[in-house]
Amino acid sequence: MGTAIVQRIHAHATPELMEAVTVTRFWSMVQSAGTDDCWTWAGDLDKNGYGVFFYQDRNRPAHELALSFTTGEKRIGRLDTCHSCDTPACCNPAHLRFDTRQSNVDDMINRDRQPRAGKLTDQEIIIIRGWRQAGARQKDLAEQFGVTDGTISMIVRGIRWPKVGGPIESDRSQYRKKVA
């Protein structure tokens, strides 16, 4: 829909019409297929391959909106929007559900989709901790070892693999000063 048309709608539209235009624009970005197939998000993706859509003044996960727009349910509090198909860009409501983080993690483990972090060797943990102490950025370490920034943070602070050697980061401010 052209920008001029959207501006005219917004200038004179009721909230219900504006919502209908937004939902229509959302579904125009979903490449739907058969009822059992993945419906691929054709809009913007985040760094993990999940669709994002600007809705109600902020970017929101496209798969969450697909489920909400279809069922009328809203994701609450600590629930995740889970995919049964393991395809981050999928927006097929038949593949989606709101469920607990634990259920989502259990699905990931049962399907052998856990991040590489569980497969780091003790030697790699020691290297990560040493390089971090020498001033390496967590972001760079995460990219090098194929894990998330959060995993690197937990490794260098001794939360993950606490019994493996290497320097444990106790005062985070000292590392910020080295890199700054």
Please give the pLDDT value at position 147: 85
- Given a contact cutoff of 8 angstroms between Cβ atoms, the answer to whether 175 and 132 are in contact is yes
| CATH 3.90.75 describes domain 3-110 | yes
Please give the pLDDT value at position 75: 92
Nearby residues of 126 by Cβ (< 8 Å), 6 or more positions away = 164, 165, 166
- Given a contact cutoff of 8 angstroms between Cβ atoms, the answer to whether 44 and 52 are in contact is yes
Please give the pLDDT value at position 179: 47
Compute the distance between CA of residue 125 and CA of residue 118 in angstroms, rounded to an integer.
11
Give the burial class of 72: count Cβ atoms within 10 A of its Cβ; 0-12 exposed, 13-18 middle, 19 or more buried. Answer: exposed
Residues of the chain with CATH 3.90.75: 3-110
pLDDT tens string, the chain, 180 residues long: the values are: 444 444 454 555 677 777 888 999 999 999 998 999 999 999 999 888 899 999 998 999 999 999 999 999 999 988 999 999 989 999 999 999 999 988 988 887 787 666 554 578 888 999 999 999 999 999 889 888 888 888 899 899 988 888 888 899 876 555 444 444
Take residue 39 and report the two structure tokens written for it. 């419906």
